[in-house]
Amino acid sequence: MNILFSVLDCLKILFQAFRYGIVNIPIDSSGSIAIKALGLLNPFFIINRKIPHGLRIRNFLESLGPMFIKFGQLLSTRTDAISIDIASHLKGLTDQCTPFSTKLAKEIIEESLQIKINNVFDEFEDVPLAAASLAQVHRAKLKSTSEKVVIKVLRPGIHKQVRRNVRVMKAGGFLINLFYKESHRLKLKDVISDYEKTIYKELDLKVEAANTTVTKKNFSDSNLLFIPKVFWDHTAVNVLTLEEIDGIACTDIHAMDELGIDRKTLAENGVKIFLDQVFRDNFFHADMHPGNIFVSKINVAQPSYIAIDCAIVGSLSRDDQYNLARMLQATLKQDYYKLSELFIGAGWVSSQTNKADLEQTLRATCEPIFEKPLSEIEFGNLLLYLFDSTRQFGLSVQPSLILLQKTLIHIEGMGREIYADLDFWGLAEPYLDQWIEKQFSPLKLKEFLKDNQYEILDKASSLPGEIFNLLDNIKFIANDGKKNIDLIKSLEASLQNQRKWQNLTILTLIGIIMILMGTMLA
């Protein structure tokens, strides 16, 4: 039965691909007149021929329903796989859906939490506060504490629907890769895999609850960002209960002015929140669109934000975090040689890339933008252009880095809507300089040694023996290299690992000496 449904879904998708001119996109891009003539075989060609490719893809995804709309929203962030033009059209996709039955919502809550609604809640609003593709939200009031809460409930049968749609997407991706020779540029396998991981995380509301709790702890000593409390006793895989918030939509400038909120400070605080999440906490809210961000009505002289929906979060590896900071710093200083070195060294582009060519491309991308005053340059969009221009060099970045770039665009766009003269650069440059300097401070090294002391000692003690083993193996393969190709490759990998730990051992010794000197001087 599952196979039959998948076949029917594939046939529907194929029809819609013809209907919205998706099949004509690769044909339109061909330089061959004969191949372009094949596009005339599509009976819907005339209707779609003047519609931009990005708008065709958007209309196509909207025709397939909420799950594919969500896929389109994710795809809009993957500027390593699609062009800026297509991404800009996909950003217009919205995730608003018709609510499902309140009776069903109550049944899911009672079954998931093993409760009776009337025993736990004094009030429960039947009309949903909001409804999206995966869940809907109801207001309620707890009997035990009289606290006002909101309850997020997953749609009935959503797990089955998502699994079915993911199967169809994988089948579609396989067929596109099979018949379209330029499909490798789209990175369909990576994009679909990224979507699958993201969507399955969103189907477990306990993951969202945990993310919310972590973000709340990270800002527990800050007045910049408020995160609602999670009621864990009333939270399960299908149900999430949070304290109700009272804020102003971050797009409601009129309401902010009526309350006397300092919009300049508010916009600058948004940038500080972003930088703290990425560099201080290395745990950032990756879905900060205006529907998830509100402005607090409390303390209007020192305004702050309220964030909800922490289902999608991101974090970077230590290397990516450091490389990102240096990349932003090099871009701010317009050092294109250093920028090209970073792109190659970080593995974001092919290691075979010609550095001079990459430097020239980066300069050609950035210089026209830097003609504007710094306060008018949107850094998120600059990153977008940088990633887009380097696709020709085999751009390959981690999904978390793409999520971060999308978050930056939201934060910067929202900040400039609140205060048009927001100077992102003026706030970011001193922050990044200070953060990079801090990474090499003795205190940071001491913290690293303390956190990794046992692993360092273990590796350091075993290092001499492993080096002798390597030397023995080199003597063995010297007699007949051709018969030992696999062993040679294994040794290459081992040597790489040893080099890493050799450097770490040297750093360790330096650190120990510094700590001893500090102790003696104290």
Query: Lowest mean pLDDT: which of 341-345, 377-381, 449-453?
Result: 449-453
Q: Which of 19, 85, 23 is nearest to 52 (CA)?
A: 85
Report the distance separating Cα 456 and Cα 449, nearest Å.
8
pLDDT at site 261: 93
Q: What is the pTM of this model?
A: 0.74
Range in 59-68, 425-434, 466-475 with the lowest mean pLDDT: 466-475
List 287, 309, 320, 388, catalytic entry: 287
| Strand 225-226 versus strand 305-307 pairing type | parallel
pLDDT in tens, 284-306: 998 887 888 999 998 888 899 99
Under the banding of pLDDT at 50, 70 and 90, the label for residue 346 is: confident
**Taking the chain, what is the end-to-end CA distance rounded to the nearest angstrom?**
75
Give pLDDT tens digits for 62-73: 888 777 887 887
Nearest to 211 by CA among 299, 307, 293, 311: 311
Strands 284-285 and 313-314: antiparallel
Annotation marks residue 194 as catalytic:
no
Report yes or no: 437 and 326 within 8 Å, Cβ to Cβ.
Answer: no
Q: Is residue 399 within 8 Å of 378, Cβ to Cβ?
A: no
Task: Answer with the residue of higher pLDDT: 104 or 176.
Answer: 104
Question: 450 pLDDT band (50/70/90 cuts)?
Answer: low
78 close to 48: Cβ distance less than 8 angstroms:
no
Residues in a beta bridge with 225: 305
Strands (E), 273-391: 284-285, 293-296, 305-307, 313-314
> What are the structure tokens assigned to 17, written together?
């691909």
What is the overall mean pLDDT for the chain? 81
CA angle 170, 196, 185 (to 5 degrees): 60
Q: Is the pLDDT of residue 80 over 70?
A: no
Look up tokens 């020192």; give the residue.
Answer: 302
Task: Give the integer Cα–Cα distance in Å for 76 and 72.
Answer: 6
Q: Which of 513, 317, 305 minimizes the C-alpha distance to 410?
A: 305
What is the C-alpha to C-alpha distance for residues 242 and 154, in angstroms, rounded to an integer?
15
pLDDT band for 253, please (50, 70, 90 cuts).
very high
What are the φ/ψ torsions at residue 239 (nearest 5 degrees)?
A: -135, 135
Report, as an integer, the average pLDDT of 185-209.
83
Confidence of residue 521 (pLDDT cuts 50, 70, 90): very low
- Over its C-alpha atoms, the chain yields an Rg (Å, rounded) of 27
